[in-house]
């Protein structure tokens, strides 16, 4: 192996190590900032306990997608095709996850749905947000004239799911363990 090939290999390995260290640091900061109390579900019906678990899981998944969108919005000349594909996969996954969550609520028995409505839970804001995205989150719509960037639009859905622990809407689902005592 010649000196040039060895130098190229060293540069590529160094770059890969740099990207790995940067990703690990971002993940560590994210996990340190996002500590949540465990859900208390014993007092809920099995169906509503499942709704609460799925809602928290969706919120966490959307946080990851938001981080990916924010990274895509930044100018990064070192972005690779793999990172772009990963963003597309994350957006497709987020679309699927939100759709499945909506379908889960649509499929609830009438009594469980009535209990959620009593708490002020409504999936209509989240459904409207997905419709406004033409049914899916896509890299091609990171920036849309007259609307916030995609990370902020997904952040609003995450808030509706209870990320801020306040207000009515679907966010009450995440707070079932607190509200139903």
pLDDT digits (tens, 9 = 90+) for 38-89: 777 788 888 888 888 898 889 989 998 999 999 888 877 777 888 889 899 9
- Residue 169: the pLDDT is 46
- pLDDT tens digits along 117-151: 777 777 889 999 999 999 999 999 999 999 999 99
pLDDT given for residue 52 in this prediction: 86
**What is the chain's percent helix, strand, coil content, to nearest 5?**
70, 0, 30
Tell me the percentage of the chain whose pLDDT exceeds 70. Answer: 76
Percent of the chain with pLDDT over 90: 36
Residue 44 is predicted with a pLDDT of: 80
In the structure, what pLDDT confidence band is assigned to residue 166 with cuts at 50, 70 and 90?
very low
Q: Which pLDDT score, from 0 to 100, does residue 181 have?
A: 33
CB burial string 39-71: b at 16+ within 10 A, e below: bebeebeebbbebbebbbebbebbbebbebbbb
Quick: pLDDT tens for 150-164.
Answer: 999 999 999 988 755
Q: From CA 160, how far away is CA 125, in angstroms rounded?
A: 8
- Burial class of residue 90 in the structure, from the number of CB atoms within 10 Å of its CB (0-12 exposed, 13-18 middle, 19+ buried): buried
Kindly report the pTM of this predicted structure. Answer: 0.72
């Amino acid at each position: 192996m010649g000196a040039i090939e060895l130098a190229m290999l060293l540069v590529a390995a160094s770059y890969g190590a740099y990207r790995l260290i940067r990703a690990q640091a971002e993940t560590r900061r994210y996990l340190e900032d996002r500590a949540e109390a465990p859900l208390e579900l014993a007092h809920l019906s099995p169906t509503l306990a499942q709704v609460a678990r799925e809602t928290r899981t969706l919120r966490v998944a959307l946080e990851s997608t938001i981080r990916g969108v924010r990274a895509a919005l930044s100018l990064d000349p070192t972005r690779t095709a793999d990172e772009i594909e990963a963003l597309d996969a994350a957006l497709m996954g987020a679309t699927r996850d939100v759709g499945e969550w909506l379908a889960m609520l649509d499929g609830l028995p009438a009594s469980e749905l009535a209990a959620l409505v009593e708490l002020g839970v409504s999936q209509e804001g989240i459904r409207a947000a997905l419709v406004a995205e033409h049914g899916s989150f896509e890299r091609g719509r990171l920036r849309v004239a007259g609307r916030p960037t995609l990370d902020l639009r997904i952040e609003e859905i995450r808030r509706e799911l209870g990320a801020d622990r306040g207000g009515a809407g679907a966010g009450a689902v995440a707070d079932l363990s607190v509200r139903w005592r």
